Amino acid sequence: MDIILVVSMRVKLEISYVGDEFCGWQIQPERRTVQGELLRALKSLTGEEPIITGSGRTDTGVHALCQVAHFDLTRNFEIKKIKSGLNFYLPQSIRILSAIEVDESFHARFSAKSKTYAYVFSTSDNALYVSRALYAPDLDYGKMAEAVGVLKGKHDFSAFRSLGSDTKTTVREIFDLSLTARGDFFVLKVVADGFLYNMVRKIAGTLIRVGEGKLDADGLREILLSKDNARTPVAPAHALYLSSVEY
Amino acid sequence: MDIILVVSMRVKLEISYVGDEFCGWQIQPERRTVQGELLRALKSLTGEEPIITGSGRTDTGVHALCQVAHFDLTRNFEIKKIKSGLNFYLPQSIRILSAIEVDESFHARFSAKSKTYAYVFSTSDNALYVSRALYAPDLDYGKMAEAVGVLKGKHDFSAFRSLGSDTKTTVREIFDLSLTARGDFFVLKVVADGFLYNMVRKIAGTLIRVGEGKLDADGLREILLSKDNARTPVAPAHALYLSSVEY
């Protein structure tokens, strides 16, 4: 037995969830949200109602393969029982992948070095892909894969954000950006030091215009430089996945 | 325009569906079934209520990547409009992948040369895999892949069936059988000229015992030869996929 007795402990969670079953990450009155369900499960398990801090919000419909969050407990709790205990109280559409004790310097949002999102296009309208990928059989994925490199690197991504959340700066660095074929799917992967609101969905939406032949790489660069977010359509939420958060 | 005027036409459908949203394939009063939903959509679209013949039944929870069915219409209907028309009336969890006119000699069940099923094991309890794969992180998949070959070929598969449906013979030929790693998953693929009731789920259930170290290849062969279906556990339905039907 490995019971850790401490007055207070910080716990890091890795969490997966099915986006379309919740009104996004953030807790809201009268709405079923991931943070709200987590808080309810934590209260049932530990009796405490701590603030649960996520690496960032996700919108309604957006899935998480591995979201990260942290919270503090004022009383000791056996860390080994947190994963199974939360999974017992949570709905099946939220699963805790891991729960570990971390140093108090760890912060789910501020300690993150980068985050990885995936936007999944499907070339088959199979029922099993509905609400998990965007059915888009006729796009020119070769052209999209070529053009998307334009957005790599450190830029002011004002053109690729929706208003509605405060941010000090609109400059972000995209470390990695690729569109690759995987079976029935084409997966747009974006790794960046941070993301503006709707940034990946606006990148995906604009990339669709490239795939439709309405825009080329030069046009994409021009939109980036214009900082005009009226020129970038927002792609649907249900094909977006928060893949991982890197610390 | 390609309007085909015939007194009667036979239509072949390729259909995908999410298994856990239906009480199986077969139409039943007061239950939501795939065949029942198809019939309702066909009536809305064409005004007719034909007998819809599937390649075989699937149980509650079992998914279809590509089920095949046929039906006859007594009045002409533009074939090109059947796929989109049915998809308009069907719930999102059933999608028609194709609808083509076929010769009256085609029969979804009797013309089938083989069928392919997949049973999907997952090594991650990610929320997105719940109801789509069996979470089994601790099995020895190497041993399972090795042992499963024993079942290949033409055998009396009495040991690997549940009672409850009539069949002339319990001899089936498995053309191909493999267990391969694919990302977070291990996929058991079975191609055979036909399947007894619960045959794949009983193969998967018994293979799990191999993965747990409770059975080896010789033991698996012995069970096959025993024809004793009390020795083969049935694995859960939600990880089983009807992948394709070959004609």
Query: Does residue A5 surpass a pLDDT of 80?
Result: no
Nearest CA in chain B to A126: B16
Name the stretches of chain B with pLDDT < 50: 5, 7
Task: Give pLDDT, residue A164.
Answer: 77
Cα dihedral across residues A145, A147, A151, A153: positive or negative? positive
Helix crossing, B34-46 with B80-89: angle to 10°?
Answer: 120
Give the pLDDT confidence of B229-246 residue by residue, as tens digits. 999 999 999 999 999 999
Query: Does residue A6 surpass a pLDDT of 60?
Result: no
Q: SS3 for B215?
A: coil
- E strand intervals along A149-239: 153-156, 171-182, 185-192
* Active-site residue (options: A59, A156, A193, A216): A59
Residues of A with Cβ-Cβ distance to B236 under 8 angstroms:
none
Distances (CA, A) of B19 to A189, B83, B131: 30, 20, 9
Least confident of A165-179, A192-206, B97-111: A165-179
Residues of B with Cβ-Cβ distance to A127 under 8 angstroms:
16-18, 64, 92-95
Nearest Cα of chain B lies from the Cα of A95 at a distance, in angstroms, of 5
Query: Does residue A18 surpass a pLDDT of 70?
Result: yes
Task: Give pLDDT, residue B2.
Answer: 57
Give the mean pLDDT of A215-223. 97
Task: Give pLDDT, residue B164.
Answer: 77
Residues of A with Cβ-Cβ distance to B87 under 8 angstroms:
125
CA distance B37 to B43: 10
Distances (CA, A) of B188 to B20, B175, B184, B239: 20, 14, 14, 10
Residues of A with Cβ-Cβ distance to B130 under 8 angstroms:
18, 92-93, 95
Closest Cβ–Cβ partner in A63, A95, A97 for B130 = A95
pLDDT band at A46 (very low <50, low <70, confident <90, very high): very high
Task: Give pLDDT, residue B4.
Answer: 53
CA distance A137 to A147: 19
Distances (CA, A) of B130 to A18, B205, B209, B236, B239: 9, 18, 22, 12, 9
Task: Give pLDDT, residue B8.
Answer: 82
Q: Indicate the burial class of A193 (C-beta count within 10 angstroms; 0-12, 13-18, 19 or more).
A: middle
Please tell me what DSSP assigns to residue A3: -
Preferred mutation among B130, B135, B240 to probe A, highest tally of A CBs within 10 A: B130
Task: Give pLDDT, residue B48.
Answer: 94
Q: What are phi and psi of B96, to 5 degrees?
A: -80, 125
Out of 3.30.70.660, 2.40.170.20, 1.50.10.20, 3.40.50.1170, select the CATH number for domain A114-246.
3.30.70.660
CATH architecture type of domain B117-241 = 2-Layer Sandwich (3.30)
Give the pLDDT confidence of A152-162 residue by residue, as tens digits. 999 999 999 99
Task: Answer whether B169 touches A (CB < 8 Å).
Answer: no
The domain ranges of chain A are: 9-102, 114-246
Q: Which of residues 71-110 of A touch B (CB under 8 A)?
A: 87, 92-95, 97
What is the percent of chain A with per-residue pLDDT over 70, rounded to a whole number? Answer: 97
Out of 3.30.70.580, 3.20.20.10, 1.20.120.10, 3.20.20.80, select the CATH number for domain B9-102.
3.30.70.580
Task: Give pLDDT, residue A165.
Answer: 72
Mean pLDDT for chain A?
A: 95
Q: Is-contact B123 A153, C-beta < 8 A?
A: no
Same fold yes or no, A9-102 and A114-246: yes
CA distance B75 to B56: 26
pLDDT band at A4 (very low <50, low <70, confident <90, very high): low
Q: Which of residues 23-52 of B touch A (CB under 8 A)?
A: none
Give, rounded to a whole angstrom, the gap between the first and last alpha carbons of chain A. Answer: 29
Nearest Cα of chain B lies from the Cα of A171 at a distance, in angstroms, of 32
Query: Does residue A104 surpass a pLDDT of 70?
Result: yes
Q: Is-contact B176 B217, C-beta < 8 A?
A: no
Give the pLDDT confidence of B29-77 residue by residue, as tens digits. 989 999 999 999 999 999 999 999 999 999 999 999 999 999 999 988 9
Task: Give pLDDT, residue A181.
Answer: 97
CA distance B217 to B203: 13
